[in-house]
Structure 1
């Protein structure tokens, strides 16, 4: 693939020995997911799931944002059936990322918004640039957080704090993410790549079997994706019932 073609890909996959780097690559839309990007990420996950040579996967975003979740501008153009499909596929995407056999590291290079934050938090380990923050603005748009977000947030910080974040749309700065142990380290943006790579190298220095078995054991105590299965239906219904202008006018993406 030529450099020009790679630049057009909405999700980039680069392998370096036992380490794979995945980059969300729609910086003009703050790496929010449209249908093409969703399909590309699904393909990347399928490829990684069949890749016995890769042991650690590092996820980050191009540009100044990590991920702004679903592209609301495209979502507003979809009919009810297509909206339902998007909600279902994105929830499955997060679960597949969470259940990936390889160890996963998220390098949060900038704002992680709504379901984009959910994707980052579904990684095994996370580091953040000091310009990063997480926020969940969905309730302000009249829609719930989907992508199995409540299940993951409740598992990480407890249901009460997760509910407060969602109801108030709080902005959680990088230092608070660190204090809550949601990220292992907060660094200047120019040091993020090295910090994430260093974390990946620490993982690669340990037993692949031990890491895999630890992930399998953690899944038993992790978020209950089955209990969040209605996310896609609730999300699709709420989007269908809201006039597009109600949330697009305040879209932070």
Structure 2
């Protein structure tokens, strides 16, 4: 399937989704949001794909929503735009396959919210991250108020949103906002290495880990622990569990099938 605003490619079990509006710093408009949704949906249903990597072309990961649209938005259309953006981010977070945001440059506003919807975030040393919507007299509308707070804590999230300041990648790593930071020249290599390592694990176990963590974080501890136990019991019915145990006992590398 051909897309206008993104590029897609597959490397074995890895799928790459590259935002492709470099002249606009990969800013999000409705076209890009819809193509992003469709591309992620396609990869999610592709049994050959184990890990999805999202990044941007040029010097930005994604600089946020395309502000040129804002002057034309009525309140109702603004609500619909925010709702659709949040639905796309929710979908990315909810799929069963691991997702990695490879933050190669600016990740601002909706761009950071896109990264927040991914499971893991890695960044180049030159990357800058922030939610600068306050400088426009608005606030994050694609899930940033909720996801950022859950990742970095209430105080730091409020500071970032209330000041609109950008933070460098090394500080973002210190706050737990990104998992790892690498020199730009090594970013793709290190991201691929991480993705390949994850892709060798059981797809069933990976999917259950995501589901239990994402649902458990908004539940009571007891509810989360109950989900963990139920999922742990369920996974004992899978071929992947049998393969993993057999491989361990025979001191060989497992070959997980996702069944």
The TM-score normalised by the length of structure 1 is 0.81
C-alpha distance in structure 1 between counterparts of 2:79 and 2:200, whole Å: 42
- SS state at 1:131 partner: coil
Q: 1:162 aligns with which of 140, 157, 163?
A: 157
**Structure 1 residue 49 and structure 2 residue 44: aligned?**
yes
**Structure 1 residue 132 and structure 2 residue 127: aligned?**
yes
Q: How far 1:33 moved relative to its partner?
A: 0.8
Q: Once structures 1 and 2 are overlaid, which stretch shifts more, 141-150 or 180-189?
A: 180-189
C-alpha distance in structure 1 between counterparts of 2:130 and 2:120, whole Å: 19
**Structure 1 residue 13 and structure 2 residue 8: aligned?**
yes
- Asked whether the equivalents of residues 116 and 144 of structure 2 are also in contact (C-alpha less than 8 Å), the reply is no
Unaligned residue ranges in structure 1 (runs of 5+): 225-253
Greater relative contact order, per chain length (Cα 8 Å cut-off, separation 6+): 1
| Structure 1 equivalent of residue 80 of structure 2 | 85
Q: How does 1:148-187 map to 2 (within 5 A)?
A: 148-187=143-182
Look at both structures and tell me which one has the larger radius of gyration over its CA atoms. 2
- Asked whether the equivalents of residues 32 and 69 of structure 1 are also in contact (C-alpha less than 8 Å), the reply is yes
Aligned residues: 219
Unaligned residue ranges in structure 2 (runs of 5+): 220-259
| Structure 2 equivalent of residue 233 of structure 1 | none
Q: How far 1:118 moved relative to its partner?
A: 1.3
Q: How far 1:209 moved relative to its partner?
A: 1.6
- SS state at 1:76 partner: helix
| Structure 2 equivalent of residue 68 of structure 1 | 63
- Asked whether the equivalents of residues 136 and 166 of structure 1 are also in contact (C-alpha less than 8 Å), the reply is yes
C-alpha distance in structure 1 between counterparts of 2:109 and 2:171, whole Å: 17
| Structure 2 equivalent of residue 24 of structure 1 | 19
Give the aligned CA root-mean-square deviation in angstroms.
1.7
Q: 2:89 aligns with which of 90, 94, 97?
A: 94
- Asked whether the equivalents of residues 135 and 170 of structure 1 are also in contact (C-alpha less than 8 Å), the reply is yes
| Structure 2 equivalent of residue 59 of structure 1 | 54
- Asked whether the equivalents of residues 129 and 174 of structure 1 are also in contact (C-alpha less than 8 Å), the reply is yes
The TM-score normalised by the length of structure 2 is 0.80
- Asked whether the equivalents of residues 105 and 126 of structure 1 are also in contact (C-alpha less than 8 Å), the reply is yes
- Asked whether the equivalents of residues 151 and 223 of structure 1 are also in contact (C-alpha less than 8 Å), the reply is no
Q: How far 1:63 moved relative to its partner?
A: 0.2
Report Cα offsets for 1:101-124 as digits up to 9, x if no partner: 110111100011012111112211
